[in-house]
A and B are shown apart, each in its own frame.
Chain A
Amino acid sequence: MEHQDGEIIERCLAGERSAYALLVDRYKKPVFVFAYRMVNQREEAEDLAQETFIRAYASLARYNPTYKFSTWLFQIAKNLCLDHLRRKRPVAAPAELEVLPATEGSPEALYLAKEGSRALEQAIQALPEQQRACLILYHYNGLSYQAVAETLRVPLQTVKNQINRARGKLRVLLQTEGGGV
């Protein structure tokens, strides 16, 4: 029987530290995906994801059960990622961006897919941080517009505007790059 987040949190607050592993297992992938899409480096994304869970545990007594635990977790992850990006040196050269290889198709198709993926990765990294965060939460993490608004603590219409602007920029950038899109 799957335990509800609130039940697990109560157990943690009662002193059952090991129960927190259930929450980590449940949300580690979405948090990592978000962090990875924000910083585009696997090791940094893992560090940020780890720090997210550690910070969440340290603040567990202040968690407000009115909101979903995942929403609160993404808020912490977003703040950590933004702090990290602001501290980091600006824009790595394109060759340093990680691009995951495609695994199916002809060599030409694989090459085109890889180049298209690279172009999209670069285009996403070029987005302003707030737009990038909105886009990632919606398209990669599968959150609804409302959930994105709650996570980022901005009005719903702002989220829609940010995501649409991000999509518009990606479309233009990818057309300019002549990428796979």
Chain B
Amino acid sequence: MECYGDETILLYLDGELDQSQAQAFEQHSRNCPACRRTLEEYRSLYRELAVQTAPEMTGDFTAAVMTALPNIDFARQRQRRQSGYLLGALLVSIVSLLPYLIAFPGLGVWWDSGKVLAGAGWSLLAVAGVLVRTAVNLLDILLRGLGTMVRVLPVDPGFLFPAGLLLLLGEVMLIKYAERMSKGELTNE
């Protein structure tokens, strides 16, 4: 009969063979010196690993750790992180408004104004969507409403720039609202 490999023997020792497989292995090892020897060697290794002890820890470990802990104001740390997110959102929003500036009268229009408007608007929506952590349906509706409003605005070059500023202001207000909603929760990153 073909011998079992080390992997099967280890599965047997770990109790991961089903009953029929375990019985088949036990039956085989009773009649196979090689497998029986390997089994005993692994059993011995398991016993050795189980009885190995670690030394006792010296001194008052906990006191030493507590003394060495840095002074951290977790509330301020969280606030700074959220401010960083806001700053990042603002920067992305500003960059997403660049097409507006390029399309502004006097600088030359490269694209169809409607596409520029929709593209920039959806960029803002995407940034706001990333930042909003809580599943607030109303917020989602408001964002979609903004996007729809952006798409149907009259494509008047003179209206583009102030419209973009209004969108930016609206996004800032929405992000602040989301921050207040998530205040007090553990951060998940």
Residue numbers of A with Cβ under 8 A of B are 9-10, 12-15, 17-18, 20-21, 24-25, 28-29, 32-33, 36-37, 42, 46, 49-50, 53-54, 57-58, 60-66, 98, 100, 116-117, 120-121, 135, 139-140, 164, 167-168, 170-171, 174-175, 180-181
Given A24-B62, A60-B74, A170-B45, also A140-B52 (CB < 8 A): yes
Interface of A is mostly: helix
- Interface contact tally, CB-CB below 8 A: 109
What is the bound-complex CA distance between A66 and B187, given in angstroms?
Answer: 11
Q: A66 contacts which chain B residues (CB < 8 A)?
A: 188
Given A15-B74, A21-B66, A61-B74, also A139-B41 (CB < 8 A): no
Q: A37 contacts which chain B residues (CB < 8 A)?
A: 54
Q: Which of B38, B42, B65 contacts A54 (CB 8 A)?
A: B65
CB A67 to nearest CB in B, in angstroms, measures 11
B62-92 Cβ-contact flags toward A at 8 Å (1 or 0): 1011101110111101100100000000000
Can you list the 8 inter-chain pairs with the closest CB atoms, starting with the nearest? A139-B49, A13-B74, A33-B54, A181-B44, A24-B62, A53-B65, A36-B54, A42-B55
Q: Which of B65, B73, B77 contacts A24 (CB 8 A)?
A: B65
Tell me whether B189 and A64 are in contact (CB under 8 A).
yes
Tell yes or no: B140 within 8 A of A by CB.
no
B24-35 Cβ-contact flags toward A at 8 Å (1 or 0): 000000000000
Tell me whether A24 and B61 are in contact (CB under 8 A).
yes
